[in-house]
Structure formats: C-alpha cells, structure tokens
Amino acid sequence: MGSKSGYTNPIIWQGIEPNCCYKYTEGGNVGSVEVDDNHRAEEKKQFESLALQSRTISEIIRDISSTLDLDELFLKFSQYASRLIPFDGFGIAVLEDDGESLKALFRSTDVKVAEWENVVNQPMKGVVEEETFVTRIPVLLHSEDLDEISEKFPVEVPVFQAGINTLLNVPLVQRGSVFGSLTLSSKKIHAYSAHDVELVEEMARLIAGSIANAMLFHRVSTAEKELQRLNEGLEKRVADRTAELEAFSYSVSHDLRAPLRTVDGFSAALEEDYGPQLDEQAKDYLSRIRTASQNMERLIDDMLVLSRIGRVQMKRKHVGLSSVAIVIMKELQLGEPERDVTVDIEEDITVFADEALVTALLRNLLGNAWKFTSKREQTHIEFGFAEQEKAYFVKDNGVGVEESYLPRLFEPFRRFHSAAEYKGTGIGLSIVKRVIERHGGRVWAESEVDVGTTFYFTLGEEK
C-alpha cells in the first residue's frame, strides 16, 4: 500500500477490540487509535445530519418541480428548510419591474414587526438586499452589530428590536441575474454557522429556477385571465353593436324604402294618368324624380349588403368560380344582347370560400367590367388565374382610370366617372374589398386610361 495519512472508515478486524479505528503510519503500517464513545456519537450525529440533508434536498428537488403555484411552492420549501435550518422567520422577496423596489411574495414568522405588518412593496434603499443584489453573496447580520446595521440597513432595525438576533439574506439568481432573495431569521444569537450559510445558498439555488418558472406561469395565467375578460367585454360590445346595426338595417330596409317607393309609385301614376296633359319639361321632371328615387333604393341595397358582409357567418366550401362567372356573364348579356362582347373564362377554377360572398364578389367585378366597357364597339372581358401573380383576375378593355386614383379605388362612394356616363352607387368595389378581407386575402388593380383595367385578388386559401 502507498503512503497515506488520515483516518479511514471504521473497520472491524478479528481479534481486535471494536472500540478503535485505524490509520496508516508513515511507513505504511496500520496502527490503532482508541476512540471513545463521545467521538463515535459525534460521528454518528454528523452522518445522520448529512443523510437528512441529502434526503431533504432530494425531496425539495422532487416537490418544488411538481408545482407552479407560488403559495404551495413557498409553503413546501419552508417546511423542508425547517428540517435542516432552525428559524423563527422565513421570507422570499423579488425585485419589481421598476428595479427600485422589492415585492414580498412569502413571509412566515413568529416575530411581529409592526413596521412590516402591511408592507408588500418595499423600496430597495436601506434594506439588506441593497448589498446582497450588488455583491451576489449572502449577508449575515447579528444583533450585537445593531449600530452598524442602523447605518447601513436602517429598514432592518425594527426586526432586531422585535427580538430577532440573527438574520441571513441570500440572493436568488436565475440566468446570471439576481431577481430576488431568501431570508432566514432567528431569535438565537449567532444562530447560523458557515456550513449553515452554504446550505441555505444551495437551497436558494435549487428554488430560484422554480420561483422564476412559477412567477412566469402566474404572469401568463393572469394575462390570459385579463385577455379572457377583455374578450368577453369585447364580445358583449360586438353583440350590442351588432344588435344596433341590425336595428338600423331594419329601419333602412323598411322605414326608408317606404317613402322612396311612394315617391316612385306616385310619379309613375302621374306620368301614366296625366302624361298627355304634361309638357316636355314636366315629363322631364317626373323622369328625374323616378330616376333619383330608384338610384336611392339601389344605394340602400348596396349599403345593406356592405354592412352585412362583416356580420355574416362564413361557410367555406369548394366553389366553382368558373361556373359562377359563366352564369353572371350570361345574365349581363341577356340584359344587353345587342352588344358585341367576347368573354374568356378559364375552366375549372375552384376555390375554398363562402359561396354567397364570392358570388357577390364576382358579380361586382364582372358587372364593373361590363359597365365600363359599354362604350366600346367590341368588348373583351376575361376571368382566370394569373400564375405569375398567384392570384385570380378580372380583366377588361374599358375606359380605365389614372394610376394616381388606384389607391382610392376601393373607398365607399368614390367615383372617378360621372353618374351621367356610368350609372352606379360607388359601393361595388367596397363590397369586393370587404368580401376579400373576410376571406383573409387581398385585392389590387392595374389600369391604364383608354386601355382597360385588371383586378387581381386572393382569398387567403394558402393560409
């Protein structure tokens, strides 16, 4: 055996008294040393203490990692800590977001300190953490140094005046930053040894990550509850506003239509019954009255459609856009069969969308193309899918608009041609945009005066 010194673990040899242990001499020989009962009892006590520490730390690791509830976490931890380190006061505080004050998360003590009774947020100045957070090492205070404590940490003085004689403050560190502190206090003088301080440091290291995780979970849970509360409030406001809009729509649909129909009806009766007695100017006045009332009714219809698009429940399914476009163009051609119109519709275009809404979308775009090509001798209208733009399109060879007008093209009531030239309410393209936005898509236009306009749109299917 090599040269060794120091005590080995106790070994019982045959024929030798059990009340001795052995050590190696300088020459490598084994000699015996008498050990009295007190020494053996002390070794046993130390062994049991280490075993308790090991077992308790294992239980701390197991239990604090199984909960995200701060109160439960602190209660369990304080119970485990009391097995290893006797204390009369236990507390955990964290640094507030402002970096200038501490928030007490947990406090358990048999010592009543009047100045601390209702304190939750404590300014950093004058507390022991003011030093702990900077040095990142534990601070141990004793009542016998009260004069020095009064100068450096005046906020802690009432604790000692209430009967505490030892106070240990240990930093809580997570990802290299001090975010809080663990404090133990005792009525005993010099209650904590260097070994105790090291043990509390180890426990603080173990609990720091769990506290940080629990605090994050608490913040997320609080934010979720607040978000839920706001959503519920928003849903109620939306429901109330929807009810108001429905009432308004009903009023528009019934109360405003009635006088318009009355005006149009009596104007028609006047023209029919008394037409021969009226001169040309009077007939012109009647015609204008009827035209204005009919235009107003169409405007009301379009406004109702526009308001309902945002409220209608979406029912997506596979819709054959090519078939829808064919039906719409046939309807337009039946209305003006005399026009020379070439229509190109790409076959088998299918989308996943709300059928009623995309039908309204195409009806407005194709109707727009039909209207603004009405002065062409030969009209060309095309519907298809543009691979380069990855978008559907409606193209015409109509009058077009200036490029500077394009950003305002989809604004309600925005007109770039007079009503005398091209009839309409100025709502159609707003309906188009609203439908596309409901589907999560986008719409844009390219146009050149006297050449034509192309509208491109997507329906959010890629999402």
pLDDT in tens, 303-321: 677 667 766 778 889 999 9
Same-domain pairing of 191 and 249 = no
- Residue 336 belongs to a domain: yes
Residues 6+ apart with CB under 8 A from 401: 409, 416, 447, 449, 453
Decide: 283 and 271 in contact? Cβ < 8 Å. yes
CATH of the domain at 111: 3.30.450.40
- Residue 127 belongs to a domain: yes
- Residue 133 belongs to a domain: yes
Average pLDDT over residues 237-261: 70
Could you tell me which residue, 312 or 442, shows the higher pLDDT? 442
Could you tell me which residue, 249 or 79, shows the higher pLDDT? 79
CATH of the domain at 348: 3.30.565.10
Beta-carbon-side half-sphere exposure of residue 339 (alpha carbons within 13 Å): 21
pLDDT in tens, 106-160: 777 665 655 555 556 788 888 999 899 889 999 999 999 999 999 999 999 999 9
Decide: 333 and 370 in contact? Cβ < 8 Å. no
Average pLDDT over residues 285-295: 80
The residue assigned the tokens 């749109």 is 457
- Residue 90 belongs to a domain: yes
Domain that includes residue 169, residue range: 64-221
Same-domain pairing of 103 and 250 = no
- Residue 341 belongs to a domain: yes
Point out the domain boundary residue: 157, 192, 221.
221
Q: Is the pLDDT of residue 248 over 90?
A: no
Same-domain pairing of 99 and 243 = no
Same-domain pairing of 443 and 304 = no
Same-domain pairing of 165 and 296 = no
Point out the domain boundary residue: 266, 281, 309.
309
Could you tell me which residue, 337 or 81, shows the higher pLDDT? 337
Say which DSSP state 120 is in: S
Same-domain pairing of 194 and 72 = yes
pTM over 0.75: no
Integer Cα distance of 73 and 94 in angstroms: 15
The residue assigned the tokens 């109360």 is 255
Give the confidence band of 462 by pLDDT, cuts at 50, 70, 90. Answer: low
Point out the domain boundary residue: 221, 246, 281.
221
- Residue 35 belongs to a domain: no
Same-domain pairing of 68 and 212 = yes
- Residue 430 belongs to a domain: yes
Percent of the chain topping pLDDT 90: 25
Decide: 19 and 34 in contact? Cβ < 8 Å. yes
- Residue 236 buriedness (CB in 10 A; 0-12 / 13-18 / 19+): exposed
- Residue 343 belongs to a domain: yes
| Number of residues that this document lists for the chain | 463
Same-domain pairing of 253 and 122 = no
3-state secondary structure of 441: coil
Buried b (16+ CB within 10 A) or exposed e, 378-411: ebbbbbbeeeeeebbbbbbbbbbbeeeeeeebbe
Integer Cα distance of 372 and 421 in angstroms: 9
Integer Cα distance of 349 and 391 in angstroms: 11
Same-domain pairing of 122 and 249 = no
Same-domain pairing of 243 and 197 = no
Same-domain pairing of 208 and 250 = no
Other beta carbons less than 10 A from residue 244's beta carbon? 10
Residues 6+ apart with CB under 8 A from 405: 416
What pLDDT does residue 142 have? 94
Other beta carbons less than 10 A from residue 423's beta carbon? 11
Same-domain pairing of 335 and 398 = yes
Average pLDDT over residues 214-222: 81
Measured between alpha carbons, how far is residue 221 from residues 214, 225, 235 in Å?
10, 6, 21
The residue assigned the tokens 């030892």 is 166
For the ranges 40-54, 218-232, 342-356, 378-392, the lowest mean pLDDT is seen at 40-54
Count of structural domains within the chain? 3
Integer Cα distance of 23 and 44 in angstroms: 19
Q: Give residue 258's identity as a one-letter amino acid code.
A: A
What pLDDT does residue 25 have? 46
Other beta carbons less than 10 A from residue 106's beta carbon? 17
